[in-house]
Structure 1
Amino acid sequence: MTAAATAQLAFDGSGIDGSLFTSVTDFARDTKWLNTPLEVWTNLGLGVFAVLMVMGWWSARRRGTQAMTVALAAPVAVVTAFACAEVVKKIIGEVRPCRSMPHAYFVDACPAPSDYAFPSGHSTVAAATVAALFLLDRRLSAIAAVFAVVEGFTRVYVGAHYPHDVLGSVLLALPIAYLASLALRRWATPLVAALSRGALRPLLTAEPAVATQAAR
């Protein structure tokens, strides 16, 4: 099947909130001085969520086995949510705005026709991080939420997604990542406790080994 045929068969989401999309992209056209910074941020900004998860892991080393389990579960929960989003993306098959609304203003380059729009993968990662950190550290989760809002806005600003793509990713990622973290906290805590007594101990706890031996 040709790329053109693939694009024709894909779902056109412009009828949902195309006017809101063009309002944001018109704003992008009127703020061209922001185009490059936000285009860079929309991709590299995902690193912020990785940093927040690392911060959560570092803090968990001083908070016990259960906290460490949740910290280790965070990236697993994010990957799980992202994988689910990719499945939904293939099922829905929503064509990108650059193909449905080619006359709008776009900062980002138009991806391949088979790279569908709904839900937003970037926003899925952002929202999943918020949920995954919620059980570990509410402050880090709140910080992640602020950056998630920025990430979602930039996805529309650069023209990569409709607003409903971003909203859909949030509605999908939050429960999946939260439930994945909750399940792993319950099922994996004994495993993390066992690993904490072995060679991985320095990565899993800040408690000195001497103190543990003395306690025994």
Structure 2
Amino acid sequence: MTVYAPPAPADALSLASGDNIDLDVLHGVNGLADDTTWAHGFMEFLGEYGLLAVLAVLLGIAWFRARRRPDHDVAVAGIVWAPIAALIAELVNMPLREFVDRPRPFVVHPEVHVLVEGKDDPSFASDHALLTMSLAVALLLVDRRLGAIAALVAVLQGFARLYVGVHYPTDVLGGFALGALIALALSPIALRALLPVVRGVERTPLRPLVVARPAAS
């Protein structure tokens, strides 16, 4: 005997596709804002600018350390690659965001608590996530300790974007993946291109930018 099974409702299909899981995670993190009003200003600052500033400081420390290494030219070239990788990732994401054209979560789900106003561009992939992860991965290739700290900063950046209600978790994960891919995949080509430039700078009065040791007399 054949038993008729009615079509799955839209909600079930949505859950099967992972959409509800995405939303559940967003609600879980964004819901923390309801009980932590004292942290709103701090999280807004971190999510928009603060963590990017922390990464800039880490890059500065990494550059200072790189100049003292035996392979200082390679290390400094790696540091230079980090912001270039972030810029390339951002340029790649521009047409991707327009193609996917995913609305911000608060547009579709008005119950989301939005702490950062004025976000009307597409949601996928998160610019902040890809910028921080591309910087972190590029830094990890040069300095493992500082790179690991930078990766934690990038994860915190993703958390902050959910907390302030401007991205879905998959927006953040997509940004992480894109930023990491570009920083890793293009690194060999970038270093081959940057090494001659760095070595050329070392032979000029700007030598202290590349190496901390004085020139041999």
TM-score by length of structure 1 reads 0.85
Q: What is the aligned partner in structure 2 of residue 20 from structure 1?
A: 25
1:178 and 1:157 map into 2 onto residues whose CA distance is 28
Aligned partner of residue 139 in structure 1, secondary structure? helix
1:49 and 1:121 map into 2 onto residues whose CA distance is 15
Q: What is the aligned partner in structure 1 of residue 116 from structure 2?
A: 108
What is the 5 A alignment of 1:39-188?
39-45=44-50, 46-63=52-69, 64-112=72-120, 115-188=121-194
Q: Say whether the 8 Å CA contact 1:74–1:133 is kept in structure 2.
A: yes
Relative to structure 1, is the Cα distance of residues 175 and 91 closer, same or farther in structure 2, using a 3 angstrom cutoff?
Answer: same
2:56 and 2:92 map into 1 onto residues whose CA distance is 19
Measured after TM superposition, the shift of residue 16 of structure 1 is 6.1
Higher Cα radius of gyration: 2
Aligned partner of residue 70 in structure 1, secondary structure? helix
1:14 and 1:117 map into 2 onto residues whose CA distance is 14
For residues 71-129 of structure 1, the C-alpha deviation after alignment (integer angstroms, 9 at most, x for no partner) is: 111111111112212221111111111211112222221423xx111011111111111
For residues 177-214 of structure 1, the C-alpha deviation after alignment (integer angstroms, 9 at most, x for no partner) is: 122333221232122112210132121211202x2xx3
Measured after TM superposition, the shift of residue 141 of structure 1 is 0.5
Gaps of 5+ in 2: 1-17
Relative to structure 1, is the Cα distance of residues 24 and 110 closer, same or farther in structure 2, using a 3 angstrom cutoff?
Answer: farther
Q: What is the aligned partner in structure 2 of residue 37 from structure 1?
A: 42
1:208 and 1:175 map into 2 onto residues whose CA distance is 37
AA of the residue aligned to 2:162: V
2:21 and 2:81 map into 1 onto residues whose CA distance is 35
Among residues 193, 196, 217, which one is paired with 1:190 in the alignment?
A: 196
Relative to structure 1, is the Cα distance of residues 103 and 110 closer, same or farther in structure 2, using a 3 angstrom cutoff?
Answer: farther
1:48 and 1:85 map into 2 onto residues whose CA distance is 23
AA of the residue aligned to 1:194: G
Measured after TM superposition, the shift of residue 14 of structure 1 is 6.0
AA of the residue aligned to 1:193: R
Q: What is the aligned partner in structure 1 of residue 11 from structure 2?
A: none
AA of the residue aligned to 2:30: T
Q: Say whether the 8 Å CA contact 1:74–1:181 is kept in structure 2.
A: no
Cα RMSD (Å) of the superposition?
1.7
Relative to structure 1, is the Cα distance of residues 128 and 165 closer, same or farther in structure 2, using a 3 angstrom cutoff?
Answer: same
AA of the residue aligned to 2:59: M
Gaps of 5+ in 1: 1-12
